[in-house]
Structure 1
């Protein structure tokens, strides 16, 4: 009898495997002329801590269309902070590779293989204000109460191809191109950078999920420039706990 119970339990585990706590969503990037440029397929694995989802790893496959093989990939690992993931980004069509790692608590390393084949390396010191790559998404959620009541948040954002970080502000805004419950923008605070870098506009739903992104992307249009796109996201699976505190 005991063996039968054990066998039944094992069979059930095979048929209904225990799944990690996942957050899955897909983005469709379009140009200003509404031409589909590519799709992003996101999978975030994490766990619930005091009722709030905390990411541990995040994979992104970039595809020209549904079912196509990825033309670029990104792997993010969140170890010490949701704001500063380790990054492994690959875009083989342009022979581009970007890696960001953290050799110690207050210093990060960047290795960037450029489309020309040259390898650039940087070592950057930072403090708790720094946000790296998709860490901006978690910055929004960590400050959800502030931004939804109209307050702004200042931070530093890493420019990995420059080997430097810069002052930015996250703030509520409005934009006729977005149809989201909460609309925010990220803009540089430095006077010179304001003339060089356009703000990024973000849309979120009331659950704290990213629904829209309008601005410069990390996907190359050619060897010298990246796409500027309007990306609309659809959630396939929410985690078992809340996205925001």
Structure 2
């Protein structure tokens, strides 16, 4: 039987129940010795697809206390419509004249346009592999592999490092940590003998529902013209989606 392609979207919509939903949470960032740095306000609009939440649009507002009250100093927008682990990214931190844009040339390559605090705009292209993860896509990678996470099995993937214009092999694995207290604690570390001495692991905490509750490591927020903050961020969820976060 031949089907008119024009009917396919209707058939898919009828066979796969989808409803709009929202996931909201706030992160409080501190230095490793407990000094308050800034706050992240996250709002993710998504869809409940067969009972599982799928992110679509993610907005992050970075705020801190100033003499006049709360001020926004950076913003980030992500779009997951093409991939849960490879969103498009538009990050702006005007106080350092820094911006980062990540987009895609079809399914073949990642396009990176980075304006560093000083110097010229840097452009790069990175080939896409099936296990390439971009920016906050790591959070969805954890949930996609939730059964491995809760059973303590490692997950291998590649992570885009946009300021280097390349990607590196990493491992997601269970770990015990004094910095993070959560139902499940995992770390992301380089899967490279040389790189692991240069890059500290990032430690993540998740609750039983699959929500990120803690992050400890290098952030994407610039501290000064030479480096980003290294911080511990603790998250409080204000709105869960009506469907489940994990399979």
In the superposition, the TM-score normalised over structure 1's length comes to 0.90
CA RMSD of aligned residues (A): 1.3
Who is 2:36 aligned against?
A: 36
Q: Aligned equivalents of 1:188 and 1:127: distance in 2?
A: 17
What's the offset of the Cα at 1:21? 0.8
> What runs of 5+ residues in structure 2 fail to find an aligned partner?
1-18
Post-superposition Cα deviations, 1:187-229, rounded to whole Å, max 9, x if no partner, equal 0001111011000000000000000000000111100011100
Which one has a bigger Cα radius of gyration? Answer: 1
Q: Please list, as runs of the form range in 1=range in 2, the aligned pairs for 1:106-185 lying within 5 A after superposition.
A: 106-185=108-187
Q: Which moved more, 1:57-66 or 1:187-196?
A: 57-66
What secondary structure does 2:102 align onto? strand
What's the offset of the Cα at 1:20? 4.6
What's the offset of the Cα at 1:65? 3.5
Q: Aligned equivalents of 1:20 and 1:61: distance in 2?
A: 22
In the superposition, the TM-score normalised over structure 2's length comes to 0.90
What's the offset of the Cα at 1:177? 2.0
Who is 2:87 aligned against?
A: 85
Contact 1:214–1:230 (CA<8 Å) still a contact in 2? yes
Count of residues in correspondence between the two structures: 227
Q: Please list, as runs of the form range in 1=range in 2, the aligned pairs for 1:1-245 lying within 5 A after superposition.
A: 20-65=20-65, 68-245=70-247
Post-superposition Cα deviations, 1:93-114, rounded to whole Å, max 9, x if no partner, equal 1000000001211211000011
What's the offset of the Cα at 1:180? 0.5
Contact 2:155–2:173 (CA<8 Å) still a contact in 1? yes
Q: Aligned equivalents of 2:208 and 2:170: distance in 1?
A: 24
Contact 1:60–1:73 (CA<8 Å) still a contact in 2? yes
> What runs of 5+ residues in structure 1 fail to find an aligned partner?
1-18
Q: Aligned equivalents of 1:79 and 1:102: distance in 2?
A: 12
Post-superposition Cα deviations, 1:109-143, rounded to whole Å, max 9, x if no partner, equal 00001100410000111111100000000000000
Who is 2:3 aligned against?
A: none
What secondary structure does 2:149 align onto? helix
